[in-house]
Amino acid sequence: MIYDRRPDDMERITTPELANAFIEEQVEVVKEQVGDKKVLLALSGGVDSSVVAALLIKAIGDQLTCVHVNHGLLRKGEPEQVIEVFQNQMKANLVYVDATDRFLDKLAGVDDPETKRMIIGNEFIEVFAEEARKLEGVEFLAQGTIWPDILESEDGIKAHHNAGGLPEDLDFELVEPVKILFKDEVRMVGDALGLPENMVYRQPFPGPGLGVRCPGAITRDRLEAVRESDAILREEFEKNGLAGKVWQYFTVVPDFRSTGVKDGKRAFEWLVIIRAVNTQDAMTATVEDIPFDLMQHIVDRITHEVSGVNRVLYDFTPKPTGTIEYE
Ligand code: XMP
């Protein structure tokens, strides 16, 4: 059956057996709901949409079309991983749209954080809607809505991020197979569906992506510095056992330069700020105690490998007073 709400007596999915039972049940539910019709899914590469994609591929195969919009603000390797896992390995119908220039042109010169978020959100819907209109006979829209999304929208904490926003001519019936699951259960199901570990257990990543880690007006050179320094930080945290221990970690490149010395010459370049925090619910957060020698190694790598960067800082500010992100 299609659940509207999580049954009060539903057992928490904590084992592969329970995850497999859930998958089998939902495969039947989706088949029943969709019949021989077509389904569309915006696949970001995040945990929830990836699990929905894998589940629907199992249930309805090529009746599903996934659209992956690269807004140019994704982390290093993310679009490539989406293509590798879903198109190459799972043989999904995947439409990959590289809309980088479109987003970055719209964002050029925009320095207000909320305006940046709005532009990214609106442009995303526009690109997705354009792709949806190109496809014939789609009647269903799949979404990675999860149980906390429903609870929070009922509490008025956040607008339900899904469904809302699509133009009226795109009037789809929703398919939400993980709607009654908590996040840890979605991860169990993702594991059972064979998704890669770094996709299932990845740290939270905001919808506006690296855009909020390039404070002020986004420029391509700073965006590249954020992407490359973030990749180094992630690589070092993975190698040194911190990836599974620290809740969220990333880099930020603010919009001012500082004087430094490189190869005996004055270098007036960007700086990178490292943020690494632990939290239960993201309402408050503490700063991770990163071993000093590892920190020195990361600083060395970033200043030598990331072009246009001559300085690295570590943010020791808990939340409050700082938020986790910078914008
Ligand atoms: P803050 O910065 O408010 O972040 O302490 C708390 C958590 O929310 C994430 N975050 C966002 N996620 N869209 C998102 O999808 C956003 O605009 C956004 N802003 C912050 C942030 O990464 C952290 O996990």
Q: Is the pTM of this model over 0.85?
A: yes
CA of 46 to the centre of ligand 1 (A): 14
Rounded-to-integer distance, Cα 219 and Cα 211, Å: 10
Residue 161's pLDDT is 53
Rounded-to-integer distance, Cα 209 and Cα 206, Å: 5
CA of 59 to the centre of ligand 1 (A): 32
Nearest CA to ligand 1 atom 3: 323
Which ranges in the chain belong to alpha helices (H)? 16-34, 47-60, 78-82, 100-107, 113-134, 147-154, 183-192, 197-200, 220-239, 292-305
Pick out the chain residues at pLDDT < 70. Answer: 157-164
CA of 106 to the centre of ligand 1 (A): 22
What is the pairing mode between strands 248-252 and 265-278? Answer: antiparallel
Residue 4's pLDDT is 87
Residue 158's pLDDT is 63
Torsion of CA 34, 36, 42, 47, to 10 degrees: 60
Nearest CA to ligand 1 atom 12: 206
Provide DSSP, 54-67: HHHHHHHGGGEEEE
Residue 320's pLDDT is 97
Residue keyed to tokens 């991983």: 81
CA of 286 to the centre of ligand 1 (A): 15
Nearest CA to ligand 1 atom 10: 206
The amino acid present at 279, given as its one-letter code, is T
The amino acid present at 216, given as its one-letter code, is G
